[in-house]
Structure 1
Amino acid sequence: MRNRPGNEELLQTLAARLSDTTLSALFPDYRAEAVRAALIGLAEEQKKRSADAVQPSNSFPALETEPPPERHRTPGTCRLYTDGASRGNPGRAGAGIVLLDDSDRELTTRAVYLGTCTNNVAEYRALLIGLQAARDEGCCRVEIFMDSELIVRQLQGRYQVKSAALKPLFTEVRQLLRSFEGWKVHHVPRAQNRRADELANQGIDNHRQLQGA
């Protein structure tokens, strides 16, 4: 006989599997992404309460916003750093990603030229490239680090996605995120995302060198 699923598992399943249409019908006064973010938040709170009940008082707390590098990570969780750069906004743009496993081993890096777009579009496209790389590498869970507060808050359901150019990218990112067993996203200072930033600019520079411009 299978064990009864815990509250955390139930909340995560609801967040992952209920469609935006269903969430909007159940909670007509709230945006679907806000309801989904609330379910994920409740699942995290339940996980923390469960951990506190069995762990000694000097153990590390559960991840919430911007964890220090030394904090313990769940085995099987890949860490993804992404950045988008646009020179001109809009202008020549590039994407950079760094994907690490739970032992800080580098799985892959990418420096991609994106053509002409705005900085926010570049940020979303860099995230899509990174999430696809995480799927290709077999990551079951992914923890995302970005220095774009706008994109992070939109993914967390704190900000609405009002830009027509960003809405389809946001939808595509949410669909990709549902293919993982779990995910988290954190806003970090640019200094902590330097490697991805360098790769994003490298994507632009490499293209300029090829074009002789």
Structure 2
Amino acid sequence: MLKINMKEIEALKTLLSSDVDLGKDEDILRHLKKRLTPTGKVELFIDGASNLQKKTAGLGGIFYRKGVELFTFAEFRPNLTNNEAEYGALIFGLEKAIELRLNQIDIYSDSELVVRQIMGQYKVKNERMAVLHKTAHDLLDEFEQWTMTHVRREKNTRADALSKEGIQIGS
């Protein structure tokens, strides 16, 4: 996760104010710009979970760059099936990646259904899923390059834990 120190915050304030000579803050701003410029590919591991009895669902995900954790999320959503929660995690993760100005992404999910639907190997038959599928593809179109790969559940334990944490947020 990007952390901005006090000098960088002050430099941003200076930059955003009108008619100001950057002077002494120029080096700080150059360094900040370098830190904010997306470089290289990121990995996103996602998972969704649902509790149909309680009508709750959770979305979880982790962004990595070169093995270093950049950002995590655990979000609550009501009234979603497990497959809808899987799509929800994908959509939320893609929205975050766009917000963070990441333009190359490798996505990993333990939902074979979602991966195969996104990759065009399975048809989307359910109306609610079709809407989520279209939303995900619209977001994927924003990326310069992307891949999506199915992983075994054992390789996705962190995202799984975050999705279950998301359920707890709403309980």
TM (norm. structure 1) is 0.60
What secondary structure sits across from 1:131 in the alignment?
helix
Question: What is aligned with 1:82?
Answer: 46
Q: Aligned partners of 2:164, 2:146: CA distance in 1, in Å? A: 27
Larger strand proportion of the pair: 2
Which letter maps to 2:139? L
Q: Aligned partners of 1:134, 1:90: CA distance in 2, in Å? A: 30
Alignment match of 1:107 (pick from 70, 76, 79): 70
1:96-154 superposed Cα distances (whole Å, 9 cap, x missing partner) = 010112x2221110100011110111110110010111112221111000000000000
Q: Give the % identical residues.
A: 39
Which letter maps to 1:82? I
What secondary structure sits across from 2:75 in the alignment?
strand
Alignment match of 2:86 (pick from 92, 115, 123): 123
Question: What is aligned with 1:185?
Answer: 148
Alignment match of 1:172 (pick from 135, 143, 151): 135
Q: Which structure has more RCO (C-alpha within 8 Å, separation ≥ 6)?
A: 2
Q: Aligned partners of 2:140, 2:72: CA distance in 1, in Å? A: 19
TM (norm. structure 2) is 0.74
The runs of 4+ residues in structure 1 deviating greater than 4 Å are none
Which letter maps to 2:116? R
Q: Aligned partners of 1:76, 1:179: CA distance in 2, in Å? A: 16
Q: 1:96 aligned to 2:85?
A: no
Q: Aligned partners of 2:53, 2:99: CA distance in 1, in Å? A: 30
Task: Write out aligned runs for 1:18-97 (5 A).
Answer: 76-88=40-52, 91-97=55-61
Q: Count how many residue pairs are aligned between Structure 1 and Structure 2.
A: 133
Contact 2:48 2:60 in 1 (8 A): yes
Contact 1:89 1:119 in 2 (8 A): no
Q: Aligned partners of 2:112, 2:69: CA distance in 1, in Å? A: 25
What secondary structure sits across from 1:162 in the alignment?
coil
Specify every segment of 5 or more residues in structure 2 that has no aligned partner in the other structure, as ranges: 1-38
Q: Aligned partners of 2:128, 2:100: CA distance in 1, in Å? A: 29
